Amino acid sequence: MPFYTFKCRTCNLEQEEMRSVGDVTEPLCSVCCYNPEADGKYERMKKIFKPNAKPASKDGSWGFSK
C-alpha cells in the first residue's frame, strides 16, 4: 500500500497516510474536525502531489543517485 500526502483545505495541515490504491475517500483533518470554530463541519483533506518526491529505501539498495 502506497503513502499519499493530503492537505487540509482550511488549515493547510499536510499529513501522509498509507492508503490502498482503490480507496477514494478523503480523510478528515485531525485538527479541523475537533475545532469548534469549524461550525461542526468536518473538513475533508485533498490529495496533493509532490513533484520532487522520489522512492527511496533506507539502506540505499534501490540504486537512486543523489
* 42 vs 33: CA distance, rounded Å: 5
pLDDT tens digits along 8-61: 988 889 998 888 888 888 888 888 877 766 655 667 889 998 766 556 556 656
Quick one: pLDDT at residue 21?
83
Give the pLDDT confidence score for residue 3 in this predicted structure. 86
Q: Which helix (H) or strand (E) holds 46?
A: strand 45-48
Amino acid 7: pLDDT: 93
CA dihedral 16, 49, 60, 62 (to 10 degrees): 120
Tell me the domain boundaries of the chain.
3-48
